[in-house]
Every structure is written in C-alpha cells, then in structure tokens.
Amino acid sequence: MLNYDVIIVGSGAGGVFMAYEFTKINKNIKVCIIDRGGPIGKRICPIDGKKITSCIHCKTCSIMNGFGGAGGMSDGKYNITNNFGGDLYTHTGKELAIELMEYVDKVNLEMGGGDAKLYSTVTSDIKAEALKYDLHLLDAKVRHLGTDRNRQILQNIYDYVKESVDIHFYEEVSSIEKNDGRFSVETDKDTYTASQVVIAAGRSGSKWISGICEKFGIETKSNRVDIGVRVEIPAAVFEHITSKVYESKIVYRTKKYGDLVRTFCMNPYGEVVNENTNGIITVNGHSYSDPKYHTENTNFALLVSNTFSEPFKDSNLYGESIARLSNMLGGGVLVQRFGDLVAGRRTNDHRFSQCFLTPTLKATPGDLSLVIPKRQLDDIIEMIYALDKIAPGMANDDTLLYGVEVKFYNSKILVDENLETSVKGLYVIGDGSGVTHSLSQASASGVYVARLISDLY
C-alpha cells in the first residue's frame, strides 16, 4: 500500500497541468498519477495505413490513453476563449478562466512551443463576410502547436514533473473507497491511499466515471453528443480563412430544421486520421508544425449538436450506435464524394478513383445516407452550401466526407466552484467532468484545482 496526499486518476490535459502546477508550487505535497496508458514516447498506434488498416483493439488504446490523454495525439490546438470549449468560467469567473488559459499557453511556449503562432478572430474581416450569409464566426485566440510539437511539449513537461510526482503507467483503477476521511484507490497492481483524489480520466473514462458517481451518489446531468462528418478539401479553398484565423469556429442555424451546425478542429495542410473510442472507430484530423509533413489538403469536422429530453437520457449511446453502424458497413470509416451524396448515389471504387482530390486517409467508399440520420445529413449538406458562399469550392463534387465523426461528452457532474464533488476531497477536472470540452480549458482546470489543494497544505 502506497500513501500520498493527492492521487490524480488520469494523465490527460487536466492531470498533466495539475502535476506541473504541483511541481512548480513545490510544497512537498506527495502526489501521484495513475494512468492506464503509457508515457508519451511509447504512445504509438499500430495502424500504419499500409499493412494494418483497421483497429486491432489493443488492450490499451495509445490514441486515447497515456500521458497527455486524447490531446496528446492531437494537433495541439489551444483555444483561449470562454465562447466554446466548455463552461469553466461558470465555476471560476470569466476573467480568471481566461487568465488560467493564458497561463497554460505561457507554459506551453516555455516547454517547447517556441514560435508557435497565436491567431485571433476578433479583428478578422472574415467575421463580417460570414455574417452576410448568417454564418457566425466565434471570437477566440488560438495557439496551434502542431501534432509533432505538441508531443515534444508533453515530453518536456513529463521530464519536468517526473522527479516530483510519482507516475504509475499501465495501471487501471478498479475502485475508489472512502473510510475515516481517507480515500483508498485500488488498481490491478496495487492499492493507494490519499486525503484528496482528483479524477482526470477524460473522455475515454466516461463510463468508468459514471460508475464512480453512481457509487458515491454524486448527481450527474446528461450531456449532448455531436454527430457529423470530417470534410476534406483542397487547402486553397479555405486558405484565405485559415491563413488569418487558423481555427475558424463557424456556427450556422439551418433554415430547414433550425438546428445548429458548426465547424470544428480545422487542420490546414493536414491529414485525416482514425480515432478509437471504446472500441468504436471514428474519424479525426491532424496537422503538423513542420512543413515537411504538410499535405495539399485541409480538413475539418462539420458537427450537428444533439441534446435529448425525456425519456431518453444516454446521448453517448445514440452516437455510439451511429458510429457502430458505419463500422459495420465499412469495416471502419466510410468516405463519400459530396457530389455523390447530393445525387443520392453511393461512392464506389470507380467514382472514387476519378476524384481530383487525393485523400489522406484510406477509407471505404460508401454511402453516408445509410448511416447518418436524414435530419443530420440534411443539416450538413445545407451547411456545406452556406460555407461555399464564403469559401467557393466547398460544395464541389469531389469534396470528400468521412464518417462518422462523433464528439462524445461526459455527463456533467455536479461540482462546486472548486470543482469538488459532494464527497469532500473528491474532485473531477478536465473533459471527464463535463465542464470542459477543450485542451485549454481542461488544462486550466488542472492548474486551478492544484492551486486550491495546495492552499490546504
């Protein structure tokens, strides 16, 4: 049995920056992290797109688990804003939330971010142009680190904290108990005790977190699920936008249904990649800071938000069902030409081979209308035609749509202004809390709670 002052379950963005902040404050607080994944340097997905083209269901998914969490294998976009990416400001206040995100940005630069450019939508003329067509560009500052530089930053943070914080990799937490004011955390390898436990398990730990909340009687509220596609176009189509704002969060309310559709995770000169969430293969995107890894394409998600009312509560199950259907039909990710979709026909191998756009992900040509519900698909088509007005070429026949892209959100856990649950000493931070939905806000939540706990010692 190992005894600590603080146990952090999970080393995603929240856990990483919590460990960093404890190390910097240095009050001799005994801290450990437990994670089912491995160090950032050992997080390698075996899918290479050549010999292995589909998920082989590793015991621990390197894309989702390990030091840095799901964000560790992302392209490292840190949006500094309260307008999207979570509701951290409802607990900290708006000014402090921005200060915390700017602090995270400073740390990233010091840890290897170097000359990573900071973009802003605030003064962009793109915003005014978009409004002409009822497209709303949300205000934000964004620092794009790139997939390659993001990994190096995480490695540098790991090297900084590893002497002060014990990190137990490849261990899975099976239970958390509380007796006589102390927590007991059981893993498949050992037992740990602490007076404070911080759950930072991220999106991949959503079902496990729900079980912990149910056990302790912690109130949760069902969240939304976003369903859509990843669009791939020639980089030139969006270059006039990405060169100025890089990450353009554009929201549109469809005329047909009044639903909200948004762009998400834009990757100029990037590549489309597979993502594994609890054994379900979905799609995502990467982009790199090093020009030698640039492609000729830009990709981004188009997502339709879905929030359910009574009696249905499990929004994630709804998203999983649609993604599983895609996996069933395509053996993984499906891809369809936009021209084929609007013509009501399947993209077959012949039509796909005639495409002027070179795809960056090997996917199965198919028919997304057999997978995505009509309402969401109508929303996506309407959004593409709207975007074509500010980025001519968006609605070309050879625009590629990969599906399904699903953004799962953890149930929102009832926490107080300190992100502490109704169980004294048990905190939930990062995307696992349902409070944050982004790298910047998840990281900021870790810094915030580390400072609060440090004040107790």
**DSSP code at position 116:** P
Q: Are 438 and 12 in contact (CB under 8 A)?
A: no
Which pLDDT band holds residue 129 (cuts at 50, 70, 90)?
A: very high
As a whole number, the mean pLDDT across the chain is 91
Domains in the chain: boundaries: 2-117+143-221+412-454, 225-408
Q: Are strands 182-187 and 173-179 parallel, antiparallel or unpaired?
A: antiparallel
Chain center to CA of 57: 20
Q: Which residue has the higher pLDDT, 408 or 137?
A: 137
Stretch (H or E) spanning 385? helix 374-387
pLDDT in the model for residue 231: 98
Q: Which residue has the higher pLDDT, 196 or 74?
A: 196
What are the backbone angles phi and psi of residue 235, rounded to the nearest 5°?
Answer: -55, -30
Q: Which residue has the higher pLDDT, 449 or 123?
A: 449
Superfamily of chain region 2-117+143-221+412-454:
FAD/NAD(P)-binding domain (3.50.50.60)
pLDDT tens-digit map of 3-30: 999 999 999 999 999 999 999 998 899 9
Lowest mean pLDDT among 126-140, 330-344, 403-417: 403-417
**DSSP code at position 49:** S
Q: State mean pLDDT over 167-194.
A: 95
* Longest pairwise C-alpha distance within the chain: 69
CA distances from 403 to 47, 295, 334, 363 (A): 18, 20, 5, 9
How far, in Å, CA of 457 to CA of 213, rounded? 27
Q: Which residue has the higher pLDDT, 203 or 333?
A: 333
pLDDT tens-digit map of 392-434: 999 999 999 998 998 877 788 999 999 999 999 999 999 989 8
pLDDT in the model for residue 406: 87
pLDDT in the model for residue 73: 82
Stretch (H or E) spanning 21? helix 13-25
**DSSP code at position 411:** P
